[in-house]
Amino acid sequence: MVTTAANRAIEQQTADSHDPEKNNFSDSRNDGERRVDNGERRADDSNRRDNNDPRHTKQPRQNNQPRRDKRDVHGWVILDKPIGMTSTHAVAILKRLFQAKRAGHAGTLDPLASGGLPIALGEATKTVPFVMDGRKRYRFTVAWGEERDTDDTEGRVTQRSELRPSADAIRALLPQFTGLIEQIPPQYSAIKVQGERAYDLARDGETVELKPRPVEIHELTLVEHVDNGQSVFEAECGKGTYVRALARDIGRILGCFGHICALRRTLVGPFRETDMIPLEELEALCNRAASGEGSLADALLPVETALDDIPALAVTRADAARLHRGQAVLLRGRDAPNSSGTVYVTVAGRLLALAEIGNGELIPKRVFNLTGLTASPGRSNERV
């Protein structure tokens, strides 16, 4: 066996807390994100289906068009999500473009925000937790002088001030918001309070006391301070951070109040801004592929791209057959790894499984079946 170290140290991961199918309709508003279906949820609640209403009966397919068969597609698409689109809608569009059987996203992005929305197709959904637990980077603009109940432009104004901060005052404050800090989530967040989502209680006019939570801000920088009462920041943060709360808290300490008025995500786990593909480009590629002039595989990144922080372990075909059946493999010989923890296993350069090393054994946890459409061979080399 040959062990290949990944870019960074081993990090234990668990998949149980992140169901990739649920991520299609994620309510989380973490990491500077907002609930994906603000308007949609209200419309659903107020317009219950009437079984006798012909508008809600199944309509025949127009022009007798055949239903397109779904297919096995495996890989990641890093959509450069446009402003105004929900993450749920984005997943639905890509699922249709690729005719994919399964799809999910790795972290909701605010409809008012643009930038990286990693969408997992097929077997890539098994690697969603590794992306969700990774670092995220945002570029965001804070408008000073108003605090809003949603901490962004959608909410109503709750406090005003004529004060405007100087660039020096802002920079002097940023070290207080760097490192491991305690942060109170926004009122409009997905955190549960006695079984109810905080945003549902807030919509009903209730004020909830949310407890501070530890979050880690790896970097927070003032990029630009303009004369119109706005400041541009960049932040790199860990899981669970609310960028909206950063704007709120900085504004309160400065005494001028503030809220997010622009937000773009530029990094999600291993996926960078250079990996992002605009929706228009994807649709154009889909049209070319339909006419035989290209392949949607060119838009896919390999499933294992999400596993950059995990060591890779190459095994023989005989050991691969055992792992594929869910059986453990004994690690013996001089090439046996000395480490323990999570690895991703390959055979002949192809992803086979996620496994745990312990007590001299390699125990499979997630086995991959990559039969179907996968990333073009050149996509892996493009990111090196």
Active site residues: 110
**How far does CA 289 lie from the centroid of its chain?**
27
CB 300 within 8 A of CB 75: yes
Interatomic CA distance for residues 1 and 130, integer angstroms: 25
Q: Which has the closest alpha carbon to 171: 109, 115, 87, 232?
A: 232
**How far does CA 333 lie from the centroid of its chain?**
40
Interatomic CA distance for residues 232 and 226, integer angstroms: 8
Count each helix (H run) and each strand (E run) in the chain, helices first: 9, 19
Other CB atoms within 10 A of residue 66 CB: 6
CB 270 within 8 A of CB 306: yes
Other CB atoms within 10 A of residue 110 CB: 26
Interatomic CA distance for residues 122 and 374, integer angstroms: 10
Other CB atoms within 10 A of residue 201 CB: 17
Tokens found for residue 53: 């209403």
Q: Which has the closest alpha carbon to 298: 64, 77, 45, 72?
A: 77
Interatomic CA distance for residues 197 and 188, integer angstroms: 9
Helix (H, G, I), strand (E, B) or coil at 120: strand
Burial 317-337 (b: 16+ CB within 10 A, else e): eebbebbbeeebbebeeeeeb
Residue 197 DSSP code: E
